[in-house]
């Protein structure tokens, strides 16, 4: 730690950025993209490249109004540079991971201390879910980064700006605008909630001028409204209406069957953000010294609690919805760690209990994965799994071995060192071992899990990539057939109509993919289809005649 603190700011940022990019980009192409979100987003980027239309977001060559285009532009850029593949689809988030580490270090160093900056970056980038998302192809890492930086810039425009209040206000508006261009108006909703409550907390005794508000608003409208303006002048105003309707529906109803109890995200953050969630339990009680730092701490507390409350109240419960909480959670983790480093904070009883409990739980899970992989018959024959499709998935060939047990041993080693070593370095050893074990687990285990869940279907789709045909899933939702068949823009307007593909007079060969639980009924009803084969829970049919 002392050697890192001797580096200059530029050297530290270069080191964090380089290591972050190497760590988060490594081996990102060795497993297929996962349905739905990863493949859905990558398909939108691929269709931009195929059509040459980068202003209109499309899925299956039809308008897709659920998301604005910024993240897809980033993916399309990477695909143009490195090819249309899994690595390119995930590369934007690897870059986001490197930038996030640099941003946290820089903010911590400039506004708190050099050690605070390093520990903030460490805490965020060595926890389970942040590592997972930086190695994924979903939108949230960039979306969260823009909101967080907009929140920070707003604080800078109020305090500690060295007279550059307006400049920071403009930066804040631009950052939130980029968040809107990434995922939607929730970016603006979050910052309005946070600073609305903050102003109430301060009884509106906040040094904000009208010019600062104007600068924020103008940059927000210019950046955040760009895509909406392009769609409107292009005569596609209905897409904006559908987009707004979708955003409202998402807050009011369960989307895609993703429901859950009120405490869902509390559990996700506590377990999924290990170990920084445990460190943060102590950091909530440590008060900063300067008034401006205390206000930033209050803003982080509001960001954490309001986002957690918002997504605990909405009906749709998806694991990454609370991912914006990682930023304030990591701040409080750094707050605790920095206090430990400077020997002016204590370890609380709740931390002493929670760390071994959650660490032991994760250790059991990580040991269970290779054990069940080597004894897959346990899952095939399990009476508590009442899903024939899932059981059939476990027939997939996989290469689990005794070596896989070495991986969770690293996790166990990190936990052991934490309790054996009494100096501050035990925290660094724990975070380093967690990062290494998480990366190995994601690199070695995720491809094997993917083999059970979807690989048979994706391999079939990929086998039809060079054939002039129609391929469609039946009775289940998927985007994999679009990306992995490399579907081109179709002349026939019925190309996405499943009923026509099954019963109509089609102009190309037709292949249907079903879950094995639906295959018998499908074959009885559609005698003009022949079964090609079944594999790992999927059944593959070819149309042999038209009715």
pLDDT at 258: 56
In the predicted model, what is the mean pLDDT of residues 503-526? 93
- Counting residues of the chain whose pLDDT is more than 90, the rounded percentage is 70
Q: Are residues 174 and 306 in the same domain?
A: yes
Q: Round the average pLDDT of the chain to a whole number and report it.
A: 91
Q: Are residues 368 and 413 in the same domain?
A: yes
The residue from 279, 313, 346 where one domain ends is: 346
The residue from 420, 453, 486 where one domain ends is: 453
- Counting residues of the chain whose pLDDT is more than 70, the rounded percentage is 95
In the predicted model, what is the mean pLDDT of residues 370-388? 88
Q: Give the 3-state secondary structure of residue 62.
A: strand
Would you say residue 398 has pLDDT above 70? yes
**Comparing 135-144, 289-298, 483-492, which segment has the lowest mean pLDDT?**
289-298
pLDDT at 230: 77
Query: Hey, what are 276's tokens?
Result: 């920084």
Query: Hey, what are 1's tokens?
Result: 């730690």
Would you say residue 256 has pLDDT above 60? no
Q: How confident is the model at residue 547 (pLDDT cuts 50, 70, 90)?
A: very low
Would you say residue 213 has pLDDT above 70? yes
Q: Are residues 375 and 251 in the same domain?
A: no
pLDDT tens across 42-101, in order?
Answer: 999 999 999 999 988 999 999 888 889 999 999 999 999 999 999 999 999 999 999 999
Q: Give the 3-state secondary structure of residue 472.
A: strand
pTM higher than 0.85: yes
Helix (H) or strand (E) holding 256: none
Q: How confident is the model at residue 399 (pLDDT cuts 50, 70, 90)?
A: confident
Q: Are residues 156 and 21 in the same domain?
A: yes
pLDDT at 509: 94
Residue predicted with more confidence, 115 or 231: 115
pLDDT tens across 21-43, in order?
Answer: 999 999 999 899 998 899 999 99
Helices (DSSP H) in 234-290: which residue ranges?
237-252, 264-272, 276-283
Q: Are residues 182 and 319 in the same domain?
A: yes
Domain limits at 382?
A: 350-453
* Contact of 394 with 380, CB cutoff 8 Å: yes
pLDDT at 290: 86
pLDDT at 226: 83
The residue from 438, 453, 468 where one domain ends is: 453
pLDDT at 242: 65
Q: Are residues 342 and 355 in the same domain?
A: no
Q: Are residues 417 and 509 in the same domain?
A: no
Would you say residue 418 has pLDDT above 50? yes
Q: How confident is the model at residue 246 (pLDDT cuts 50, 70, 90)?
A: low
Those residues whose C-beta lies under 8 Å from the C-beta of residue 256, and which sit 6 or more positions away, are: 36, 316
Q: Are residues 262 and 201 in the same domain?
A: yes
Strand order across the beta sheet in which 510-515 lies: 470-473, 510-515, 538-543, 529-535
Q: How many CA atoms lie within 13 A of 246 on its CB side?
A: 15
Those residues whose C-beta lies under 8 Å from the C-beta of residue 520, and which sit 6 or more positions away, are: none
Number of domains present in the structure of the chain = 3
Would you say residue 146 has pLDDT above 90? yes
Q: Are residues 20 and 61 in the same domain?
A: yes
pLDDT at 249: 63
Q: How confident is the model at residue 2 (pLDDT cuts 50, 70, 90)?
A: confident
The DSSP bridge partners found for residue 512 are: 472, 541
Q: Are residues 271 and 197 in the same domain?
A: yes
pLDDT tens across 167-176, in order?
Answer: 999 999 999 9
Q: Are residues 298 and 357 in the same domain?
A: no
Q: Are residues 390 and 273 in the same domain?
A: no
Would you say residue 262 has pLDDT above 90? no
Q: How confident is the model at residue 250 (pLDDT cuts 50, 70, 90)?
A: low
């Amino acid at each position: 730690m002392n050697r890192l603190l001797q580096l200059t700011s530029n050297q530290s940022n270069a080191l964090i950025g380089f290591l972050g990019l190497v760590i988060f980009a490594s081996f990102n192409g060795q497993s297929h993209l996962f349905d739905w979100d990863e493949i859905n987003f990558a398909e939108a980027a691929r269709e931009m490249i195929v059509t040459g239309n980068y202003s209109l977001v499309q899925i299956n060559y039809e308008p897709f109004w659920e998301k604005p285009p910024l993240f897809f532009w980033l993916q399309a850029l990477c695909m143009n540079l490195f090819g249309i593949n899994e690595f390119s689809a995930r590369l934007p988030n690897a870059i986001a991971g490197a930038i996030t580490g640099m941003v946290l270090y820089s903010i911590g160093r400039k506004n708190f201390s050099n050690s605070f900056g390093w520990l903030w970056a460490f805490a965020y980038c060595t926890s389970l879910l942040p590592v997972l998302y930086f190695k994924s192809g979903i939108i949230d890492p960039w979306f969260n980064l823009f909101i967080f930086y907009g929140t920070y810039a707003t604080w800078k425009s109020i305090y500690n700006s060295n007279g550059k209040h307006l400049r920071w206000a403009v930066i804040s508006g631009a950052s939130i605008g980029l968040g809107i261009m990434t995922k939607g108006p929730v970016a603006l909703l979050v910052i309005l909630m946070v600073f609305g409550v903050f102003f109430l907390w301060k009884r509106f005794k906040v040094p904000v001028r009208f010019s600062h508000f104007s600068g924020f608003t103008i940059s927000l409208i210019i950046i955040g409204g760009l895509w909406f303006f392009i769609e409107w002048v292009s005569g596609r105003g209905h897409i904006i209406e559908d987009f707004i309707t979708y955003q409202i529906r998402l807050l009011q109803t369960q989307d895609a069957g993703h429901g859950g109890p009120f405490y869902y995200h509390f559990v996700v953050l506590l377990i999924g953000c290990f170990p920084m969630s445990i460190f943060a339990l102590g950091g909530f009680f440590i008060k900063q010294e300067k008034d401006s730092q205390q206000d930033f701490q209050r803003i982080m507390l509001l960001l954490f609690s309001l986002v957690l409350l918002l997504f605990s109240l909405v009906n749709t419960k998806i694991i990454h919805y609370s991912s914006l909480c990682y930023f304030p959670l990591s701040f409080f983790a750094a707050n605790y760690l920095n206090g430990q480093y400077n020997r002016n904070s204590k370890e609380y009883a709740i931390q002493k209990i929670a760390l071994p409990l959650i660490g032991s739980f994760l250790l059991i899970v990580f040991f269970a994965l290779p054990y069940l992989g080597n004894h897959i018959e346990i899952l095939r024959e399990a009476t508590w799994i009442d899903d024939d499709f899932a059981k059939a998935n476990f027939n997939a060939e996989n290469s689990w071995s005794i070596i896989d047990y070495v991986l969770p041993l690293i996790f166990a080693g990190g936990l052991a060192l934490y309790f054996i070593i009494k100096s501050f370095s035990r925290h660094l050893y724990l975070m380093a071992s967690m990062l290494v074990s998480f990366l190995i687990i994601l690199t070695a285990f995720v491809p094997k899990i993917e083999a059970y869940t979807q690989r048979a279907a994706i391999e079939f789709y990929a086998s039809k990539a060079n054939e002039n045909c129609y391929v469609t899933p039946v009775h289940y939702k998927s985007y994999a057939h679009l990306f992995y068949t490399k579907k081109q823009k179709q002349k026939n307007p019925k190309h996405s109509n499943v009923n026509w593909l099954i019963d109509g007079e089609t102009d190309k060969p037709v292949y249907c993919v079903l879950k094995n639980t639906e295959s018998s009924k499908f074959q009885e009803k559609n005698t003009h289809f022949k079964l090609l084969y079944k594999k790992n829970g999927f059944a593959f049919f070819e149309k042999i005649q038209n009715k």
